[in-house]
Amino acid sequence: MYCIAPRHYDPLVLSFYPHHQADSGRYNIEGATSNIWCTVLNMNGSNDRGSLLEGFHIEPTTVEQTIALRHAVLWPHKPESHVRLPEDDSGYHFGAFVSSCDAPIAVISVFKEPLPPVIDSEQDEASISEAKPPFEAGRFRKFACDSVYQGHGVGTALLRHVFSAARDQLGCCVLWCDARLSTSNWYERRGMQIFGPVFTKSGVGYIRMKATL
């Protein structure tokens, strides 16, 4: 038996097509717009996490290839323009791919951007700028994994890839991000540390996190 999971919906909401023969993988629905992909999971007892993800790989990608996943995973209730960044053209974009599909299953984007200072009420502006670190820093943004593929190690692999790329290709010593509070524990378990206070963007709670590369 096979089930078809619309890419951007919870995989529990599935339609079953017992007579449909297909390999596990991701397919574009015939006649649909290019953003409507589906995931076909083999339900004959082999839909465990390992089999779904045999053979994913990470490679540089275009910003255009990141947009649908950024939108679906991070800001599905906002217009697509919300996930486009003015600095996208100067960023480095990476995707995780499975062989059966041209669209990435996870994406992340990296930018050269100085580590923001931690504002201390006892510091005046001059001491903050004096304290500005002299080393190169990078920031990653718009990190998203297709919900169907979450929990299989793709995000961890992509984050590690970006740590290496930022260090070896961009010459960064530090990588930082504005982490969603919901994901900050996940980052901590991967060696990132919190700096600065909690803040809110578009109704979502965030905290700054960094890692020494």
Ligand X SMILES: CC(C)(COP(=O)(O)OP(=O)(O)OC[C@H]1O[C@@H](n2cnc3c(N)ncnc32)[C@H](O)[C@@H]1OP(=O)(O)O)[C@@H](O)C(=O)NCCC(=O)NCCS
- Distance of closest approach, residue 30 Cβ to ligand X, in angstroms: 28
Cβ atoms of 35 and 68 within 8 Å: the answer is: yes
The C-alpha atoms of residue 115 and residue 132 are separated, in whole angstroms, by: 8
- Distance of closest approach, residue 180 Cβ to ligand X, in angstroms: 4
Nearer residue to ligand X within complex by CB, 161 or 180: 180
Cβ atoms of 68 and 103 within 8 Å: the answer is: yes
| Strand positions, DSSP E, the chain | 2-6, 15-17, 25-28, 37-42, 57-60, 92-97, 106-112, 137-145, 174-180, 193-201, 204-212
- The three-point CA angle 60-173-95 to 5° equals 15
- Distance of closest approach, residue 67 Cβ to ligand X, in angstroms: 15
CB atoms near residue 40 (< 10 Å)? 18
Q: Which residues bind ligand X (CB under 6 A)?
A: 49, 73-74, 143-145, 150-156, 179-180, 182-183, 186, 189
Nearer residue to ligand X within complex by CB, 77 or 189: 189
Residue number of the CB atom closest to ligand X: 155
Nearer residue to ligand X within complex by CB, 112 or 161: 161
Nearer residue to ligand X within complex by CB, 20 or 78: 78
C-alpha distance across the termini of the chain, in Å = 46
Nearer residue to ligand X within complex by CB, 49 or 132: 49
- Distance of closest approach, residue 95 Cβ to ligand X, in angstroms: 12
- Distance of closest approach, residue 17 Cβ to ligand X, in angstroms: 26
